[in-house]
Amino acid sequence: MILNRSLPAIAATATALAALPAAAQEAVTFGTNWVAQAEHGGYYQSVVDGTYAACGLDVTIVPGGPQVNNRAQLLAGKIDFYMGGPMGVMSAVQEGIPMVAVASDFQKDPQVLMTHPGRVASFAEVAELPQYIIGDEGFVTYFRWLEGEYGFDPAKRAPYTFNPAPFLANPDSTQQGYVTSEPFAIEAEAGVKPDVWLLADQGYPAYSTMIVTMQDTIANRPDAVRCFVEGSAKGWATFLYGDNAAALARIKEDNPDMTDAQLAYSIAALKEYGIVDSGDAETLGIGAMTEEKMKAFYDAMVAAEVLPADLDYTAAFDTQFTNKGVSLEVKKALTGN
């Protein structure tokens, strides 16, 4: 049946529809693992440019920090998503906690060891140094892998206290860090440009900066999970390859101590080392996460006697929301590639 409606009637209907209130955005909160920095840039990008809002979310970023435990906030239901890692979600399975990774926005863990310029010629020689300055968390995770793969001696370990002075004072030492931050800090403070050894490039098979949520959220709010995962992937593509000025400004609002020089260094390192956009992300899009790589990490932790051999590691992640390639068109539009 064809309806014969006058132009005034159509116009009146359109006016009435335009007067209706916009659909309410679903409020979600995302807790990061540290204070605001470039390593969180993709999420800030999607907040400021409306990418999350376009698929129905009103996202609030809750920065982490030394006095903030956003993992605990996720468990308590105070936030909806958390920036975690593979060890965290696999430990949750071990503890019977229904915490699940739904995407991995860093394909490579940015963890590095630093040595004094020219002190060693290869990563294998780092194990021969007399002192390793490693924090407690790293000592029970990636260091155990280093023991098995490269023969690092735990007796040589000295605790890392986020103070570079012991490393700078001892040219025969190595110190942990993130490729995006500690090398910059040491060069800025002491004028020493350390040699940097990215563990991921030495075979350490860990994801990082994973989007983690609770199983109930996946079951009851799948559209919100999908929007956040896909919106984050698009945000990272724009942050890395497009106009990120507004995102950088918002990062500095949340962390007034952040400098333009540090932000620029971190972004350059993210690109140079392929932290976000490399490997599977080149075909599956930013946020890519595969069972093969999760198994590789699990097997490495079993070999290092960090995780038990009978753990159902597949309960730690869910790939239904990622691997859709949503960032690829954004990147192509911005770079032509």
**Structural domain boundaries, residue 235:** 26-109+206-335
Q: Is residue 16 part of a domain?
A: no
Counting the structural domains of the chain, the total is 2
Q: Is residue 6 part of a domain?
A: no
pLDDT (average), residues 94-111: 98
Instruction: Answer yes or no: do 127 and 147 share one domain.
Output: yes
Instruction: Answer yes or no: do 45 and 160 share one domain.
Output: no
| CATH code assigned at 103 | 3.40.190.10
Q: Is residue 60 part of a domain?
A: yes
Instruction: Answer yes or no: do 315 and 225 share one domain.
Output: yes
Instruction: Answer yes or no: do 155 and 122 share one domain.
Output: yes
Instruction: Answer yes or no: do 277 and 243 share one domain.
Output: yes
- b/e sequence 163-189, b meaning 16+ C-beta within 10 Å: ebeebbebeebbbbbbbbbbbbebeee
| CATH code assigned at 144 | 3.40.190
Instruction: Answer yes or no: do 176 and 214 share one domain.
Output: no
pLDDT (average), residues 265-273: 98
Which of these three, 202, 232, 262, is where a domain ends?
202
Q: Give me the pLDDT at residue 23, please.
A: 57
For 21, the enclosing helix (H) or strand (E) is none
pLDDT in tens, 116-157: 999 999 999 999 999 999 999 999 999 999 999 999 999 999
Q: Distance (Å, rounded) from C-alpha 53 to C-alpha 287?
A: 19
The predicted model scores a pTM of 0.92
Length of the chain counted residue by residue? 337
Q: Distance (Å, rounded) from C-alpha 77 to C-alpha 331?
A: 34
Instruction: Answer yes or no: do 323 and 212 share one domain.
Output: yes
Q: Distance (Å, rounded) from C-alpha 307 to C-alpha 106?
A: 22
Could you tell me what percent of the chain has a pLDDT over 70? Answer: 93
Instruction: Answer yes or no: do 97 and 217 share one domain.
Output: yes
User: Cα 336 from chain centroid?
Assistant: 25
Which of these three, 202, 225, 258, is where a domain ends?
202
